[in-house]
């Protein structure tokens, strides 16, 4: 059995559709139904006709990915979907062959049936080398180095995965078309920062970090001391003394596990008690789907920050964070070229 990454849109446009319908989906709608394509050579000719202006290397890249989705992915293989809309990864098992559904939304007509096992595994649960592989710019990619399939399967089954291979230990061969090209270095760096924060800012220290970010955003902030907090870790308001709206109640959960909808409802009750118009729920381990569903109806009242959103806020306001916090979380900006493809 193998492990495959299949994205659902460059910006996660088809994530909810894929997860709700039990599917893996890809774009390339220009190709039409591929059910009768009998060989990679036929697919190559079809691709050249559909993308006549594309470079030869681009065509070869596209063919490798689409052929992998159409033919190489097998029933029983693991399917990994890194989510763009939240800092989590979904994992499932492939349950059916390639199918084309013309009535599906654009960029979701080429499909494979998937039984999603977990839809909310925090990115921080994965070792850095696997996250590096999942950071590839490809849409379809086999994740195979360093016993990745074995380790991902152990994670899904709740077993302790074997450690990554040590330096110098033999690993599988170089990636081919449709397999692990160079990764998204920005995402790789963000994953490193996330891992570091997860290790250094546990428990009440995570609330300290959120307090610093809100202060940098211009809030006057009061943080509860360690211990029972009455359902609120931070209260914040605008103005010199914090009296001006919007008034904000913040609950911070540092657990590695996704929180359920009861935590969101508790925050809503606390907001009423404090006379706060808005609430912020920060959950390092992310949120169960029920939280996301209910939060959609609370757009003008509540925001959700998982580890990804918190890290993005830290990076945005890093220069205005206190010196002692910057010393504990040492970061610097770098410049890198943006790949053409």
Strand partners, 90: 81
Q: Which of 149, 183, 217 is the last residue of a domain?
A: 183
- 140, 156, 183 — which closes off a domain? 183
Confidence at residue 169, expressed as pLDDT on a 0 to 100 scale:
41
The answer to whether the beta carbons of residues 244 and 268 sit under 8 Å apart is: no
In a domain, 189, yes or no: no
Asked if 176 and 67 sit in the same domain, the reply is yes
153 within some domain: yes
Percentage above 70 pLDDT, the chain:
91
Which pLDDT score is estimated for 166?
Answer: 47
Say how far residue 62 (Cα) sits from the centre of its chain.
23
Name every residue whose Cβ is closer than 8 Å to that of residue 272 and which is 6 or more positions away in sequence. Answer: none
341 has a pLDDT exceeding 60: no
Tracing tokens 């899904």 back to the chain, one arrives at: 156
> Is the same domain home to 228 and 289?
yes
Nearest CA to 135 out of 92, 192, 173, 177 is that of: 192
Kindly state whether residues 121 and 249 are assigned to the same domain.
Answer: no
Report if residue 333 sits inside a domain: no
Is 131 domain-assigned? yes
Domain span holding position 218: 197-328
> What is the maximum span of the chain, computed from C-alpha positions, in angstroms?
71
Claim: this prediction has a pTM higher than 0.85? no
* Helix or strand holding residue 264 (H, E): helix 261-274
Do residues 175 and 207 share a domain? no
Within a domain: 21: yes
pLDDT at 134: 87
338, part of any domain: no
Let me know whether 254 and 320 are in one domain. yes
CATH label of the domain that carries residue 100: 3.10.590
Is residue 191 domain-resident? no
**Whether residue 155 sits in one domain with residue 258:** no
Q: What is the mean pLDDT of residues 126-130?
A: 88
Percent of the chain residues topping a pLDDT of 90: 67
Q: What is the mean pLDDT of residues 207-215?
A: 97
Buried b (16+ CB within 10 A) or exposed e, 281-303: bbbbbbbbeebbeebeebeeebe
pLDDT at 179 over 60: no
Do 168 and 275 lie in a common domain? Answer: no
- Band the pLDDT of 226: cuts 50, 70, 90: confident
Span 238-247, pLDDT tens digits = 998 888 999 9
Residue 281: the pLDDT is 97
**What's the CATH code of the domain at 265?**
3.40.1350.10
Residue 158 shares a structural domain with residue 232:
no
- Verify that 216 and 160 share a domain, yes or no: no
- Specify whether 174 is located in the same domain as 263: no
Identify whether residues 144 and 16 lie together within a single domain.
Answer: yes
Of 141, 158, 183, the residue at which a domain comes to its end is 183
Q: Do 247 and 295 lie in a common domain?
A: yes
Average pLDDT estimate for 47-64: 94
More confident residue, 172 or 161: 161
pLDDT value for 110 = 97
Please provide the average confidence, as pLDDT, over all residues in the chain: 89
For residues 49 and 201, give the distance between their C-alpha atoms in angstroms, rounded to a whole number.
53
Residue 293 lies in a domain: yes
At residue 230 the predicted structure's pLDDT band, cuts being 50, 70 and 90, is low
Domain count, the chain: 2
Query: What pLDDT, on a 0 to 100 scale, did the predictor assign at position 171?
Result: 37
Q: Which residues of 170-200 are buried (b: 16+ CB within 10 A; e: fewer)?
A: eeeeebebbbbbebeeebbebbebbbebbee
Q: How wide is the angle at C-alpha 173 spanned by C-alphas 191 and 89, nearest 5°?
A: 30
């Amino acid at each position: 059995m193998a492990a495959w990454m299949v994205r659902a849109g460059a910006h996660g446009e088809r994530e909810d559709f894929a997860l709700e319908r039990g599917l893996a989906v890809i774009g390339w709608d220009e190709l039409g139904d591929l059910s009768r394509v009998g060989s990679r050579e036929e697919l190559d000719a079809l691709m050249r006709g559909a993308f006549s202006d594309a470079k030869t290397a681009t065509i070869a890249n596209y063919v490798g990915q689409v052929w992998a989705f159409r033919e190489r992915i097998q029933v029983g293989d693991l399917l990994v979907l890194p989510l763009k809309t939240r800092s989590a990864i979904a994992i499932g098992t492939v349950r059916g062959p390639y199918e084309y559904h013309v009535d599906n939304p654009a960029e979701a007509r080429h499909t494979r049936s998937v039984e999603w096992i977990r839809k909310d595994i925090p990115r921080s649960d994965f070792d850095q080398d696997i996250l590096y592989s999942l950071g590839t710019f490809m849409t379809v990619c086999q994740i195979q180095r360093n016993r990745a399939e074995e380790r991902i399967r152990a994670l899904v089954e709740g077993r302790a995965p074997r450690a990554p291979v040590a330096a110098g230990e033999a690993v599988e061969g170089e990636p081919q078309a449709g397999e692990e090209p160079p990764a998204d270095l920005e995402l790789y760096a963000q994953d490193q920062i996330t891992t570091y924060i997860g290790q250094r800012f546990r428990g009440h220290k995570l609330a300290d970090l959120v307090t610093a970010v809100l202060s940098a955003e211009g809030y006057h902030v009061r943080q509860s001391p360690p211990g029972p907090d009455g359902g609120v870790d931070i209260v914040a308001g605008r103005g010199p003394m914090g009296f001006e709206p919007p008034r904000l109640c913040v609950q911070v959960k540092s657990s590695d596990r996704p929180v359920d909808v009861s935590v969101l409802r508790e925050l809503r009750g606390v907001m009423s008690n404090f006379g706060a118009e808005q609430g912020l729920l920060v959950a390092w381990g992310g949120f169960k789907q029920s939280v996301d569903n209910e939060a959609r109806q609370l757009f003008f009242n509540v925001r959700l920050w998982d580890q990804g959103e918190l890290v993005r806020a830290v990076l945005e306001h890093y220069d205005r964070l206190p010196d002692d916090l910057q010393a504990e979380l040492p970061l610097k900006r770098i410049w890198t070229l943006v790949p053409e493809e």
